[in-house]
Amino acid sequence: MNESDVLNWINNALKEEIKVLSLGYISRYFYEYHHNDNNFYMTGSMGSALSFGIGVAKGTNKSVNIVMGEGSLLMNLSSLNLLRMVKGINLFLIDNSVHNSTGGQKSEFDNIYCKEFFENIFDECFFDVNLSNFDANTESNKNRFFYFKVNPLDIIPKRIDLEPYDIKNKFITEVLNSECK
């Protein structure tokens, strides 16, 4: 499965829902091909997408969708413990086995990945998702985990040319226009 196919599928499944996108090619890909103000692009904060997404979930009644790579998750595994504080988190983990945006070094995720680990943390887990007949149905009061083993992107998405201040303000405006807790 190609990473771009999965990222396009996630965008189509989530439409205008809240998305927190991890630093690197994931943010850059969504910015180049699927930009909207419901997307929060992590810039300059490696490994913080999950923690940030949990904070967003505490402030809204909507589900929060976090799209991150295995390298970003490895940077801050301890943030998985914070999931106990909220419900309605959907974590889409894209495992391409490399730190793509920093030069393609092999990640060590394969050495620690274990389905049972995620099944003990999340209310529902989906592994080896078939994109052609799967409905993400992300509006839920559960914490859900979606795992995708992919081939790395074969393109280099353009850099995000928004200032962090603008990303933050547009996202806050969009999220606060929704019903907040």
User: Is residue 89 scored above 90 in pLDDT?
Assistant: yes
Confidence of residue 153 (pLDDT cuts 50, 70, 90): confident
pLDDT value of residue 105? 63
pLDDT value of residue 62? 86
Tell me what the pLDDT averaged over the chain comes to.
85
pLDDT value of residue 45? 79
pLDDT value of residue 30? 94
Report the topology of domain 3-176. Rossmann fold (3.40.50)
For 18-68, the pLDDT digits (tens) are 999 998 889 999 999 999 888 999 887 778 999 999 999 988 888 899 999
Q: Determine the average pLDDT of the residues in 132-151.
A: 83
Q: Sign of the CA dihedral 145, 65, 166, 15? A: positive
Percentage with pLDDT > 70 across the chain: 90
The answer to whether 103 touches 158, Cβ cutoff 8 Å, is: no
Give the range among 30-44, 46-60, 103-117, 143-157 with minimum mean pLDDT.
103-117
User: Is residue 175 scored above 60 in pLDDT?
Assistant: yes
